[in-house]
């Protein structure tokens, strides 16, 4: 690569994207080959013709599946966490994904009571409590209301807990450390339609939302948010919800911690106060550094992670061009910018945001990087349209008690070694 033609945007090889686009990409990544004058490959560069190019291919099937060569791309159970038949945490393989859509088969999941096998024709949604007309819906009737679709993320409150809790940076890949974040197109009926039909009474402030799983997972949510943008969702990425995601119907509450988007939704009790259920009094709270408990703090904070390169990946050549690519998101709006540093924070420059940049959705960012081959640390720092910016790890830690881990959103550091290895780091 003719590096003299490049303009650098920040230290240690981060490139100015426009000069890079103009440079004609002399990346020296491809292999130049010899061809005969007629354009045929010369014998010494011609690989044997593979059988698939000389024979009829296989039949297709009525429901497609990934290539057997990608069989390692799977959800993985969270490491170092005791999991039972009822409670399990499945992580998405972020380091194998590109773009912003998570295929439904790879969407992260946290189950409190296993996955119930619901017969859809027997399932009911009940709205009662402080309403003029208690209502009950079967699915056929519920799905006749007008629907909306939105591409939005879902993140578990406890995503990246290992980096919040562990005194030293644990070895792990992006999936193990960050895999409780996914993004899909969700389609359903605005909950406001149903609550208006039931007639919410003036004293109502909260709605207790309960699932049909064996443990009746439930959360109390402010009525105002549910009237604003929550939906009763039937579809994910164009097809009906998977059982693991709440089939036949779930609540979807944009931007808020995942467990409040109640799966297998069957009951909405309108109330003037929260229920203080098990999960909202314990697991899904935060403990501040003065030991005060912060409950009912729902919105996920602005956050980002570089997915390429990321933990346990290995750069295949020990210097030269790489594209740095990652994901950013915020529970309080659109991503406004993502800054990247290739010198452990001494200098920063803005990455490109790939559109569409949507409200409360994953946003893909990237920046070209000419690696010198020296060991270094890569960082990304996202800001949202409300002005929220990711804190450093020490800033985040100073706000919370040592054993508090929910809503961890500090700047992530990946250490790149001279041997091309990439590992989790606290910078």
Residues 307-326 that bind its own copies (CB under 8 A): 316, 321-323, 325
For its own copies, the closer of residues 41 and 402 by Cβ is: 41
Give the total residue count for the chain.
Answer: 427
Of 137, 178, 284, 298, the one binding its own copies (CB under 8 A) is 137
Q: Alpha carbon of 57 to those of 53, 54, 60, 68, 70: distances in Å?
A: 9, 9, 9, 15, 19
Q: Which of residues 324-343 bind its own copies (CB under 8 A)?
A: 325
Calpha distance 383→409 (Å, rounded): 12
- State yes or no: residue 152 binds its own copies (CB under 8 A): no
- State yes or no: residue 403 binds its own copies (CB under 8 A): no
- State yes or no: residue 82 binds its own copies (CB under 8 A): no
Kindly state the smallest distance separating residue 362's Cβ from its own copies, in Å. Answer: 9
For its own copies, the closer of residues 3 and 76 by Cβ is: 76
- State yes or no: residue 229 binds its own copies (CB under 8 A): no
- State yes or no: residue 86 binds its own copies (CB under 8 A): yes
Of 11, 79, 103, 345, the one binding its own copies (CB under 8 A) is 103
Kindly state the smallest distance separating residue 339's Cβ from its own copies, in Å. Answer: 18
Calpha distance 362→187 (Å, rounded): 17
- Please report, in angstroms and rounded to a whole number, the separation of the first and last CA atoms in the chain: 30
Calpha distance 224→207 (Å, rounded): 10
Of 5, 7, 18, 33, the one binding its own copies (CB under 8 A) is 33
- Residue among 350, 341, 336 nearest 415 (CA): 341
Kindly state the smallest distance separating residue 13's Cβ from its own copies, in Å. Answer: 15
333 in Cβ contact with 382 (< 8 Å): no
For its own copies, the closer of residues 107 and 393 by Cβ is: 107
For its own copies, the closer of residues 76 and 285 by Cβ is: 76
Of 147, 204, 287, 295, the one binding its own copies (CB under 8 A) is 147
Calpha distance 45→35 (Å, rounded): 9
Kindly state the smallest distance separating residue 344's Cβ from its own copies, in Å. Answer: 23
- State yes or no: residue 368 binds its own copies (CB under 8 A): yes
Kindly state the smallest distance separating residue 11's Cβ from its own copies, in Å. Answer: 20
- DSSP type of residue 202: T
- State yes or no: residue 32 binds its own copies (CB under 8 A): yes
Of 43, 59, 202, 224, the one binding its own copies (CB under 8 A) is 59
Q: Which two tokens stand for residue 314?
A: 């290995």
Beta bridge pairs of residue 191: none
- State yes or no: residue 278 binds its own copies (CB under 8 A): no
Q: Which two tokens stand for residue 73?
A: 């791309």
14 in Cβ contact with 342 (< 8 Å): yes
Calpha distance 182→380 (Å, rounded): 19
- State the residue for tokens 């943008």: 229
- DSSP type of residue 131: B
Q: Which of residues 166-205 bind its own copies (CB under 8 A)?
A: 184-187, 193-194, 196-198
């Amino acid at each position: 690569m003719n590096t003299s033609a490049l303009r650098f945007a920040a230290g240690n090889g981060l490139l100015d994207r426009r000069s890079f686009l103009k440079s004609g990409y002399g990346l020296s990544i491809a292999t130049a080959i010899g061809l005969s004058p007629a354009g045929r490959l010369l014998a010494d560069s011609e690989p044997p013709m593979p059988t698939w190019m000389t024979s009829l291919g296989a039949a297709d099937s009525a429901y497609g599946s990934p290539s057997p060569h990608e069989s390692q791309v799977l959800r993985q159970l969270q490491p170092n966490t005791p999991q039972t038949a009822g409670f399990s945490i499945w992580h998405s393989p972020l380091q194998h994904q590109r773009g912003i859509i998570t295929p439904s088969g790879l969407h992260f999941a946290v189950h409190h009571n296993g996955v119930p096998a619901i017969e859809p024709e027997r399932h009911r949604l009940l709205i009662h409590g402080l309403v003029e007309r208690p209502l009950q819906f079967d699915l056929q009737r519920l799905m006749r209301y007008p629907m909306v679709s939105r591409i939005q993320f879902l993140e578990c409150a406890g995503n990246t807990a290992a980096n919040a809790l562990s005194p030293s940076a644990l070895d792990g890949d992006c999936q193990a450390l960050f895999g409780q974040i996914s993004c899909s197109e969700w389609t359903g009926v605005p909950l406001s339609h149903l609550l208006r039909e039931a007639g919410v009474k003036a004293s109502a402030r909260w709605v207790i939302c309960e699932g049909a799983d064996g443990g009746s997972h439930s959360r109390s949510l402010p009525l105002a948010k549910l009237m604003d943008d929550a939906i009763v969702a039937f579809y994910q990425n164009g097809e009906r919800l998977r059982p693991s995601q709440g089939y036949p119907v779930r609540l979807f509450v944009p931007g808020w911690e995942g467990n409040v988007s109640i799966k297998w939704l069957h009951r909405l009790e309108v109330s003037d106060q929260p229920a203080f259920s098990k999960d909202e009094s314990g697991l899904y709270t935060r403990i501040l550094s003065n030991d005060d408990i912060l409950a009912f703090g729902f919105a996920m904070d602005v956050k980002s992670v570089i997915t390429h390169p990321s933990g346990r990946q290995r750069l295949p050549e020990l210097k030269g061009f790489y594209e740095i690519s990652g994901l950013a998101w915020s529970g309080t709006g659109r991503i406004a910018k993502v800054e990247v540093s290739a010198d452990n924070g001494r200098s920063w420059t803005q990455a490109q945001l790939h559109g569409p940049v949507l409200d409360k959705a994953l946003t893909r960012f990237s920046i070209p990087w000419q690696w010198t081959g020296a060991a270094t640390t890569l960082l990304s720092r996202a800001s949202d349209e409300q002005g929220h910016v990711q804190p450093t790890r020490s800033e985040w830690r100073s706000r919370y008690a040592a054993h508090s881990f929910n809503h961890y959103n500090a700047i992530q550091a990946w250490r790149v070694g001279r041997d091309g290895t990439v590992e989790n780091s606290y910078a």
